[in-house]
Amino acid sequence: MQDFAHILENHVLVVATLACLIAQASKIIVELVQHGKVNVRVLVTTGGMPSAHSALVTALATGIGQTLGWASTEFALATIFAVIVMYDAAGVRQAAGKQARILNQIIDELFQEHPKFNEDRLKELLGHTPFQVIVGSALGIAVSCLAGPAY
């Protein structure tokens, strides 16, 4: 259990987590500006502006680059990991969200006459737009650069 306390000494992990939390918390502000009301549900949902996943993985990769060097194998691994996560957020999960929206619409139209049909709706907001991913990654890089490397 003593080793668990050492996790907080991992500067790169702490900064990456902080970037993720800042991105997630900023969704409340974006929601307030867009819709004029505070919606705390955005703290626990996927999707939205900015991408917290992108902020997390870019802060992680940047922190590793700052700490271990931009030519290190660890930085290369973290960068490839970040690219895959961001591609998934803007590509695969975004497409799945569009498919869910269409399926929900089909179900609504087909079963209008049968109100007893009560299935749970599919979650539509799963992924991010490319802009949300870019803003999230810029946030992650900025947080990591502002926090500085840990030596």
Per-residue model confidence as pLDDT tens for the chain (151 residues): 667 878 888 999 999 999 999 999 999 998 889 888 888 888 877 778 899 999 999 999 999 999 999 999 999 999 999 999 998 888 776 666 677 777 767 777 776 766 665 566 656 555 678 899 999 999 999 999 999 876 6
Q: How far, in Å, CA of 45 to CA of 59, rounded?
A: 21
| Residues written for the chain | 151
DSSP code, position 1: -
The CB density around residue 42, as the number of other CB atoms within 10 Å, is: 21
Question: Reduced to 3 states, what is the DSSP secondary structure of residue 134?
Answer: helix
